[in-house]
Structure 1
């Protein structure tokens, strides 16, 4: 019985870790989606600009003039990277959900086993 209690504690802690990991992964995905939306807005602004428009990039406390094609390329690259990170993060969330579900099932089975054992002792 003591061994089952210890196993129950371990499963509960593992389940809590999955829940913490899930929360951080969801927060990471939300940050990425926010960055993606910002970069899409910038990309849309670039499309509405004239070809000879001046574009400045903030580097530390300084604004540096940047070529429109270079700025477009930078934003496109960022969007590509963010898209890949979102895909990776969603795969991680999926893995965490599967692991969490397995631990939850193990925990429920152990609890049922302990209940049956407790009923057996009460009846015996």
Structure 2
């Protein structure tokens, strides 16, 4: 009777750890999606900066604000794009650090789940022989 209680406890623990692992995997997938979005934005902003660098100092630059184009100083436009690139780069670094942490946790959880699965299997095999 005690052995079936221990087996149920092991199975419950295994289920909880597997759910935790599943949540981590979802977080990793979400991190990848956000990282992809920022990578695309970074590429777009770098292209905009290259285009702005090609302009003459007296060129007209307009910024879209809602449905209206507003004239903007070229130096200000370049500075804004550089700030945006810096921000996006910092976010990508933060996401990379978070991803590394999540992957380390995932590896640890996978090892824990594997060990629990082995315990359950060996417990069931021992019970089957008895």
Please report the TM-score for the alignment, with normalisation by the length of structure 2.
Answer: 0.94
Match of 2:29 among 18, 23, 32: 23
Number of the residue aligned with 1:100: 106
By how many angstroms is 1:122 displaced?
1.3
Equivalent residue pairs, number: 124
By how many angstroms is 1:32 displaced?
0.4
Q: How does 1:61-100 map to 2 (within 5 A)?
A: 61-100=67-106
Match of 1:9 among 6, 9, 15: 15
C-alpha RMSD of matched pairs (Å): 0.6
Number of the residue aligned with 1:49: 55
| Structure 1 segments (4+ residues) deviating >6 Å | none
Match of 1:109 among 112, 115, 129: 115
Provide structure 1 residue ranges, at least 5 long, that are not aligned to the other structure.
Answer: none
Please report the TM-score for the alignment, with normalisation by the length of structure 1.
Answer: 0.98
